[in-house]
Amino acid sequence: MNELFRIIKDKYVILTPLFLIIFIAQFEQYSQLTSSGTFGSALRLSIPILLAGLGGLFSERTGVVNIGLEGMMIMGTWFGAWGGYMYGPWGGVLFGLIGGGLFGLIHAIATVSFQVDHIVSGVAINILAVGAARFFNILAFDGIAFASSTASPRIEGEIGKFNFPYLSGGKIGENETTSLLGNIENADIFLVSDISALLLGFTSNISYFTILALLIVPLSVFVLWRTPIGLQMRSVGEYPSGSESLGVNVYLMKYIGVIISGCFAGLAGAYLVLEGPNVYLQGQTNGRGFIGLASLLFGNYRPFGVLMGAGLFGFADALQLRSEEAIQGLLVVVGVFLIMLTIRNISQRNIRGSIGTGLLGSLFLFWFMSSTQVPIQFIYFTPHLTTLVVLSFSKQKFRMPKKVGVPYKKGELN
């Protein structure tokens, strides 16, 4: 919890836009910015990004760069669909984890045992996964109705969802309870209704898979910072030769980190299938593995930081599903936020930074005032634009593991 409070304190880059969004949402045409539907969609869309980011965290904490997260997610989508089709939705969860873990093992063998450049191996994983998923799909579902070379048959059944009783109208036995948070949201009270909408979005129609993914965040904190194996994993990413001199099996720790990374990415892929259309579709990941890496950087290699970054990107992605007016409201938020960053940069005498943020902020505000609608292309680009803005103008100092990306041979001093 101390880590969470520290991150919230430092993350003005999240808290300031949040208050701006709440303020803008008081205007009727922008009310979708803080509706419970928007927050619920943001939670669901942030989970694959969160799992991919946590996967990158475990790999890079042991010193192995993993830009192959996208490919491991792709394998998670296919294995999740195959496992779901054969053994039901929870079977899909298990096989999605296994599929991502297998490709994590391939990355570990290449980078740890054969000393292949980490970037080259990650790119190869991404390329290999696309072809492998298509090949497996043709091989496994040949002749099955509604299947094709780029899509699997539909998975029967679902993971299961629930609402919290009294808070979001869940059931106790056969009796449906009232929705306290929904009533407060509908009362339209400044700030109070917005917070209620946030809580309602996070407590209604919640999948058991979503809860499992969220529990991985505190579990990651506990494993990496409260257990001997976590200390060893972090030590080999900082000083592998020193760790080896103390009896730590450096190769084993790196293997464990990269395989866990693949398993989490595979879970992210399975989530896209099982919490979405219930079928595997080619191109289903849509670059979320790379956005997961962005959330890892934004979160400064900390699990709760990754969670906050994934939530931000998930919120931007969720706006695609809402009204066009909500996107226009986001233009105001981005513009005002960049102007506030400009004032902050000027106060810190960062002239170069203030010029960049000032120009961009002015452009966004001018765009809002001079247009009546937002091009559809911009709506689809919203999550990627958010990624670029956050990573470009966040002033935090990244604390990467010292030996991340550096090949290590047993017995050498480095």
Q: Which residues contact 75 (CB under 8 A, 6 or more apart)?
A: 99, 100, 102, 103, 129, 132, 133, 266, 269
User: Among 3-7, 47-51, 279-283, which is the least confidently predicted range?
Assistant: 3-7
Co-location of 142 and 232 in the same domain: yes
Percent of the chain whose pLDDT exceeds 70 = 87
Output the pLDDT for position 387: 65
Torsion, Cα 58 64 68 73, to 10 degrees, reads: -20
DSSP state of 113: I
Tell me the residue range of the domain where 257 lies.
40-163+205-300
Residue among 285, 271, 214, 265 at smallest CA distance from 92: 271
Let me know if residue 81 belongs to a domain: yes
Co-location of 341 and 252 in the same domain: no
Q: Which residues contact 238 (CB under 8 A, 6 or more apart)?
A: 63, 401, 402, 403
* Distance (Å, whole) CA 311 – CA 214: 11
Output the pLDDT for position 173: 76
Let me know if residue 192 belongs to a domain: no
* Mean pLDDT, rounded, of the chain: 86
Q: Which stretches within 142-207 are classed as H helix?
A: 180-186, 192-203
Diameter of the chain measured on Cα atoms: 67
DSSP state of 26: T
Which long-range contacts (C-beta less than 8 Å, at least 24 apart) are formed by 349-354? 353/393
**Average confidence (pLDDT) over 252-258:** 97
* Distance (Å, whole) CA 192 – CA 352: 39
Question: Predicted confidence band at 116 (pLDDT cuts at 50, 70, 90)?
Answer: very high
Co-location of 222 and 106 in the same domain: yes
Co-location of 154 and 260 in the same domain: yes
Co-location of 102 and 236 in the same domain: yes
Co-location of 74 and 17 in the same domain: no
> Which is it for the CA torsion 48, 49, 53, 59, positive or negative?
positive
Q: Is the pLDDT at 80 greater than 90, yes or no?
A: yes
Output the pLDDT for position 34: 86
Residue with more model confidence, 344 or 290? 290
* Distance (Å, whole) CA 332 – CA 327: 9
Q: Which amino acid would we find at residue 278?
A: N
Co-location of 329 and 267 in the same domain: no
**Average confidence (pLDDT) over 219-243:** 95
**Average confidence (pLDDT) over 119-139:** 96
User: Among 76-80, 282-286, 311-315, which is the least confidently predicted range?
Assistant: 311-315
Residue among 221, 212, 254, 220 at smallest CA distance from 94: 212
| pLDDT tens track for 352-397 | 778 877 888 888 788 777 776 766 666 667 666 666 666 665 555 5
Q: Are 324 and 374 in contact (CB under 8 A)?
A: yes
Co-location of 151 and 294 in the same domain: yes
Output the pLDDT for position 323: 63
Output the pLDDT for position 389: 66
**Average confidence (pLDDT) over 268-289:** 94
> Which is it for the CA torsion 222, 71, 81, 306, positive or negative?
positive
Q: Is the pLDDT at 266 greater than 50, yes or no?
A: yes
* Distance (Å, whole) CA 414 – CA 406: 9
Q: Is the pLDDT at 162 greater than 60, yes or no?
A: yes
* Distance (Å, whole) CA 282 – CA 220: 30
Output the pLDDT for position 3: 52
**Average confidence (pLDDT) over 199-225:** 94
Percent of the chain whose pLDDT exceeds 90 = 50
Q: How are beta strands 175-176 and 206-207 bridged, if at all?
A: unpaired
Question: Predicted confidence band at 8 (pLDDT cuts at 50, 70, 90)?
Answer: very low
Name the burial class of residue 282, with classes exposed (0-12), middle (13-18) and buried (19+) by CB atoms within 10 angstroms of its CB: middle
The number of folded domains in the chain is 2
Co-location of 243 and 342 in the same domain: no
Strongest mean pLDDT among 11-25, 156-170, 252-266, 316-330: 252-266
Q: Is the pLDDT at 27 greater than 70, yes or no?
A: yes
pTM: 0.89
Q: Is the pLDDT at 10 greater than 70, yes or no?
A: no
Let me know if residue 354 belongs to a domain: yes
Residue with more model confidence, 315 or 271? 271
Q: Is the pLDDT at 145 greater than 60, yes or no?
A: yes
Output the pLDDT for position 97: 97
Output the pLDDT for position 191: 83
Q: Which residues contact 252 (CB under 8 A, 6 or more apart)?
A: none
* Distance (Å, whole) CA 357 – CA 345: 9
Residue among 102, 118, 130, 380 at smallest CA distance from 280: 130
Co-location of 77 and 26 in the same domain: no
- CA 343, distance to chain mean position in Å, is 30
Let me know if residue 409 belongs to a domain: no
Let me know if residue 171 belongs to a domain: no
Co-location of 18 and 52 in the same domain: no
**Average confidence (pLDDT) over 242-255:** 93
Output the pLDDT for position 48: 97
Output the pLDDT for position 9: 46
Co-location of 257 and 381 in the same domain: no
| Domain final residue, candidates 267, 300, 333 | 300
Q: How many CB atoms lie within 10 A of CB 120?
A: 12
Let me know if residue 238 belongs to a domain: yes
Let me know if residue 243 belongs to a domain: yes
